[in-house]
């Protein structure tokens, strides 16, 4: 079994229901256990402008699913919750559900469809803050998650994040 961290987020529709539903679906996967779920955080959009705030969390899984299979399962769950992806143009936009593989054990992987560790993880408070909640001192790219948080807060003060008080 591999220890895997996923980032889940949504900023359209019933955000909390979509994220909780996705966590339930992840828990039903063969050879996979949901080991921990961070608290939920409301965050600003990163990389594009939106009037809709995101709800985000991080999930720790124990799974024996290989990364490409896990990615396909995540994409299927996104579709089940109404996610529509563009044709791969890479332009970010509002979404009903987004699931990203952040870390997959100690694996480093770079394929056209999947990069692990996630290449943007260390630039996004909506990943780093809930990740630090689950695993203090976790190292990504020779820095602890806490150090990455400090750097992002300094370099990107426009990124807003606060603990979600709803639901």
Catalytic positions, written as ranges: 83, 95, 98, 100
Task: Look at residues 44, 17, 26, 37 and name the one whose alpha carbon lies nearest to residue 167.
Answer: 17
C-alpha span between 18 and 129 (Å, rounded): 20
Q: Angle 41-117-42 (CA atoms, 0-180°, nearest 5)?
A: 10
102, 127 Cβ separation under 8 angstroms:
yes
């Amino acid at each position: 079994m591999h220890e895997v961290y996923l980032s889940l987020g949504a900023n359209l529709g019933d955000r909390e229901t979509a994220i909780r539903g996705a966590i339930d679906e992840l828990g039903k996967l063969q050879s996979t256990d949901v080991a921990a779920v961070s608290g939920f955080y409301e965050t600003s959009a990163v990389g594009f402008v939106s009037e809709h705030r995101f709800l985000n969390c991080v999930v720790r899984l124990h799974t024996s699913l290989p990364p490409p299979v896990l990615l396909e399962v995540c994409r299927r769950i996104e579709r089940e919750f109404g996610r529509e992806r563009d044709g791969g143009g890479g332009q970010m936009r509002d979404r009903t559900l987004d699931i990203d593989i952040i870390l997959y054990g100690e694996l480093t992987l770079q394929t056209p469809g999947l990069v692990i560790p996630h290449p943007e993880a260390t630039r996004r408070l909506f990943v780093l803050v809930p990740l630090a909640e689950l695993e203090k001192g976790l190292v990504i790219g020779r820095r602890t998650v806490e150090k990455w948080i400090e750097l992002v807060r300094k370099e990107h003060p426009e990124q807003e994040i606060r603990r979600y008080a709803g639901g």
